[in-house]
Structure 1
Amino acid sequence: MPLVLTGFMGTGKTSVGQVVAEKLGREFVDMDVLIQAEEGMTISKIFETRGEAYFRAREAELCARLAARDNPVISTGGGTLVNPQNRARFGEAFVVCLDAEPDEILDRLSGARDRPLLAQSVPNPRQRIVELLDARREAYAQIEWHLNTTGKTVEQVADEIVGLLQPRKIAVTAPDSVCPIFVGSGLLERVGKLMNLTTDTFSPYCATITNPRVGELHASPVIESLRGRGFEPRLIEIPDSEQYKTLDSVSQIYDQLIDARLDRHSIIFALGGGVIGDMAGFAAATYLRGVSFVQLPTTLLAMVDASIGGKVAVDHPRGKNLIGAFKQPHAVIADTNALTTLPAAELNSGMAEVVKHAIIDDVGLFEMLEQNPHPDPITRSKRSWVARAMQVKINIVARDPLEQGERAKLNLGHTFGHAFELLSNYGMQHGEAVAIGMVCATRLAAQRDLCDAHLVSRIENLLSTIGLPTRVPREMSADAIWAAMATDKKRVGSRLRFVLPRALGDVVIADDVTREEVENVIDELQTAS
């Protein structure tokens, strides 16, 4: 995977790139130097004799060539990635935009004679730098990771970039934002550092929301990491369990956010599982009409599902997640070391969402789980199964961020599952409910001749082998289940929506399922238990 350093002139792309390449043992390519060598003249001379349009065309051609190389460290020209087509050519690369303050840039470029956009004839070079930065601001903002080099040595910047490469990096692209996602071990100790490398400048006042159990295990390294980077974090602990995911709990969070003096430039960190992510995200979406938040998922279910996609909500006595918003996180930092602290039942619950994603769009992952239903979460593979499960949701969310169509496929097993959770008074874990719900959905698909009996057996066998339930509890009547479904937020009018598998990697959405069909599936799975 190429490492691409871009940014405005004078931010250190070449000098930093050379040191990074040496540290990583990679080839270094300076695009401007290469173009000059191939053209036999300086960049200034190319602009003078052939024009800027010719130079930009040569840049585009070179981007296409370099993107095909395995692992170079590439320093681009300051305007190279302003072109969206060039950004797309480096879509599979790790791209870092180097920034610097205008006065720092001016100081670094003093005496330079090879900058055609900052020629000696420019009467006010600083003003020209500010104008060019403003003109490119929107394009630079499309790049995931930024690093301000002002006041830093080349060695310091190079070390920070090398550190960034250690975890697995993926991203969700949504309207007006790019949400970077880091997956790897030991990341909770680096939260402050990762936040300092993002595009936004945050207030020092921030909050970490967690529950007592997770806080005891994981809050200390996060707080210390934030303090080490100039933040003043307030630790907010709220009770653990779905039953506390209410507006009353969020109101208590607001009180502590106000006490901690969080402002509109503050950031809220959600440290925990799906319940914490939902409540912290909902608080972030509504406090001061919206502040940034970062997901720090510590459960498997939160890593592969709840932390991705920007849906945040609290429950209502009449249904789950009925009060909520779309709020894309600023970043997701998933430390797989946290998975080693989970009880077996909670890890299994998260595996239900992994299986769900495999059914929806990763046949290879499903087959891998059939061979090894209890994989090690701390894998050194370049593409871990955790990141692989996340990628299914990432791809769908990127195509449908506001759940207008395809994203509804991610609700496989949830129409049944949410009803089971509600009727158990949330005593049943979410993953357990979804597991039973996926079995119900697959049996419903088989009844409709959408899939064969072999698919039903494969899904049930895998879930059972993992240790997840596959039968509807006898104490839940068909009438009660149907009534609970009536409050499901996924319904359209009075019509319920079910996601039904036709094959691995192929699911469809049905909104014409009758009550009789649902009752037949429930009866079948209660009789078989």
Structure 2
Amino acid sequence: MQQVEVKLPEKAYPIYIEKGLFAQVGVLVKRQWPKIQQVALISDTNVTPLYAAQIRAQLSDAGFKVYLYTVTAGEASKSLGTASSLYDELLGDGFTRSAGVIALGGGVVGDLAGFVASTYMRGLAFIQIPTSLLAQVDSSVGGKTAVDLPAGKNLVGTFYQPDAVLIDPATLTTLSQRYLVEGYAEVVKMAAIASVDFWQLIEQIPNVAAITSHAEALIKASVAFKARIVMADEKEGGLRQILNFGHTFGHAIEAGAQGALAHGEAVSIGMVTLTQCFEHAGLSPVGTTAKLRHQLAAVGLPLTSALIGQPDFYARIARDKKNRGGRVNMIYLKAIGTPVVYPLALTALPEFVTHNLLEAQ
């Protein structure tokens, strides 16, 4: 079994990666939680029919009393209202601070369950079992939890590290092609900012089928890189900002699309259009955008959006929680594997995009 260790000043935890790992969930969770007896298994309407019975049986066999809570699949469940409903269910079932929460699902379930675990009675033990590629390579690692507000994504949340992350790449076979590819956009992001070696691994993915055949290597490389960044900057005070490559534009595009774009699809557009801007401005090397385009287009990811440059596009960026003092920190590539933070005044952003992207097209 492949294992990545996350070692932080106040906590260390393992990330296990192995095809077929679901057959060992009970043993692995018991190893982490020898004194816990009561477990809340939080999943959604897509994942519960696929895996909840198997995981619940594993946990029960290991001696846990398991309560399954299923939320409606989709971003709309990542809300204060859904969190409040889960608090009520936990209270009704007698959950105390000696219990644990397990997230079984994709990024929405992981963010929501993590937020509930971190806030219910000031914190319960928490384990991530991500079932989507997006969650396996990104959102399950690093301790970010959040729910959305009408004004934007992830505006209410905590930093709350899990006790373990259990990743079984076999779950990717139940994803639709669209959502497998969506997760791959985050892998491309990781490779672009990580290293030339990781990028060379990405260049071995000429089509969608290759994502699945290389899944374990892609997941391991992504998780190892993100773990290294999180260990250096747990709460995004500096270096961890580079993980937002493509996200400044991507989040605004995703919100503006009103459900028509998945997160990874919006990030794909964000990476390409942002890199176009910086290449035109002479800060990213000529050909960098073409490299990104080639890898993303090979699996059918979108590369552009008519939403860029609209008034609402800039308004959404202005509301982003990462902005400080009227400035937005954008991440560009000085080279593959060399990300750079570029602070820009929000008032200067429309001219920057218009000159370097819209007029250059």
- What TM bracket, shorter-length normalisation? over 0.9
Aligned counterparts, 1:274-285, within 5 A: 274-285=107-118
Asked if the contact 1:215–1:237 (Cα under 8 Å) also holds between the matched residues in 2, the reply is: yes
1:251 aligns with 2:84: yes
Secondary structure at the counterpart of residue 377 of structure 1: helix
1:322 corresponds in structure 2 to 155
| Residue 490 (structure 1) aligned with residue 322 (structure 2) | yes
Matched with 1:197 is 31
2:152 corresponds to 1:332: no
Change (3 A) 1:524 1:363: farther
Contact map agreement 1:297 1:333 (CA 8 A) in 2: yes
Q: Tell me, what secondary structure is at the counterpart of 1:512?
A: strand
Work out the CA distance in 2 between the residues paired with 1:215 and 1:316. 25
Q: Secondary structure at the match of 2:146?
A: strand
Question: Partners of 1:271 and 1:519 in 2: how far apart?
Answer: 42
Mapping of 1:102-113 within 5 angstroms? none
Is 2:104 the partner of 1:271?
Answer: yes
Counterpart mapping for 1:145-224 below 5 A: 167-198=1-32, 200-224=33-57
Letter aligned with residue 315 of structure 2 = A
Structure 2 residue 142 is the aligned partner of structure 1 residue 309: yes
Match of 1:418 in 2: 251
Query: For the Cα contact (< 8 Å) 1:209–1:270, is it kept in 2?
Result: yes
How far did residue 319 of structure 1 move? Answer: 1.1
Query: Residues 146-191 of structure 1: CA distance to partner in whole angstroms, max 9, x if unpaired?
Result: xxxxxxxxxxxxxxxxxxxxx2111111221111000011222321
What SS is found at the alignment partner of 2:199?
Answer: helix
Partner amino acid, structure 1, of 2:340: V
Q: Deviations over 1:427-476 (max 9, x none)?
A: 3100001000101221122133112221111111111112110012x255
Matches within 5 A, 1:115-514: 167-198=1-32, 200-373=33-206, 374=208, 375-377=210-212, 384-472=217-305, 474=306, 477-512=309-344, 514=348
Amino acid aligned to 2:12: V
**Residues 524 and 216 (structure 1 numbering): CA distance in 2 closer, same or farther, change over 3 Å?**
farther
2:191–2:202 CA contact under 8 A, matched in 1: no
Instruction: Find the aligned partners of 1:335 and 1:346 in 2 and give their Cα distance.
Output: 16
Q: 1:419 to 1:496 in 2, by over 3 A?
A: same
Which one-letter code corresponds to 1:244 in the other structure? S
CA distance in 1, matches of 2:90, 2:308: 41
C-alpha displacement at 1:378, in angstroms?
A: 5.5
**Using the alignment, how far apart are the partners of 1:213 and 1:369 within structure 2?**
29
Q: Distance in 2 between matches of 1:187 and 1:255?
A: 32
The Cα offsets for residues 110-156 of structure 1, whole Å up to 9 and x where unpaired, read as xxxxxxxxxxxxxxxxxxxxxxxxxxxxxxxxxxxxxxxxxxxxxxx
Aligned partner of 1:487: which letter?
R
Q: 1:435 to 1:475 in 2, by over 3 A?
A: closer
Distance 1:521 1:322, change over 3 A: farther
1:47-126 superposed matches below 5 A: none
TM-score between the two structures when normalised by the length of structure 1: 0.65
For 1:209 and 1:310, locate their aligned partners in 2 and report how far apart those are by CA, in whole Å: 17
Query: 8 Å contact 1:352–1:431 — kept in the other structure?
Result: yes
Aligned pairs (5 A) from 1:11-22: none
**Do the aligned residues in 1 keep the contact of 2:118 with 2:124 (CA within 8 Å)?**
yes
How far apart are the structure 1 equivalents of 2:343 and 2:255? 21
**Structure 1: distance between partners of 2:21 and 2:256:** 37
**Aligned mates of 2:338, 2:309 — CA distance in 1:** 30
2:237 and 2:202 map into 1 onto residues whose CA distance is: 31
Partner SS, residue 489 of structure 1: coil
What SS does structure 2 have at the residue aligned with 1:197? helix
Corresponding residue SS for 1:402: coil
Q: Aligned partners of 1:232, 1:493: CA distance in 2, in Å?
A: 48
Q: Distance in 1 between matches of 2:302 and 2:58?
A: 40
Q: In structure 2, the residue corresponding to 1:432 is in which secondary structure? A: helix
Displacement of 1:496 in angstroms is 1.0
Deviations 1:210-243 (A, max 9, x none): 1011010111111000000110111100011112
Comparing both chains, which one has the higher relative contact order based on Cα–Cα distances under 8 Å and sequence gaps of 6 or more? 2
Find the counterpart in structure 1 of residue 354 from structure 2.
519
TM-score (norm 2): 0.94
CA RMSD of aligned residues (A): 1.7
Q: Which runs of 5+ in 1 are unaligned?
A: 1-166
Determine if contact 1:377/1:386 at 8 Å carries over to the other structure. no
Structure 1 residues 505 and 337 mapped into 2: Cα distance closer, same or farther (>3 Å)? same
Give the C-alpha shift of residue 260 in structure 1. 2.4
The one-letter code matched in structure 2 to 1:523 is L
Deviation (angstroms), 1:333: 0.2
Contact 2:245–2:330 (CA<8 Å) still a contact in 1?
yes
Partner of 1:258: helix, strand, or coil? Answer: helix
Q: Distance in 2 between matches of 1:455 and 1:376?
A: 22
- C-alpha deviation, 1:477, in angstroms: 4.5
Question: Identity of paired residues, percent?
Answer: 37
Equivalent position SS for 2:259: coil
Larger of the two Rg values belongs to structure: 1
Q: Tell me what 1:8 maps to.
A: none
Tell me, in whole angstroms, the C-alpha distance in 2 between the residues paired with 1:402 and 1:281.
16
CA contact (8 A) 2:277 2:357 kept: no
**CA separation in 1, counterparts of 2:105 and 2:325?**
34
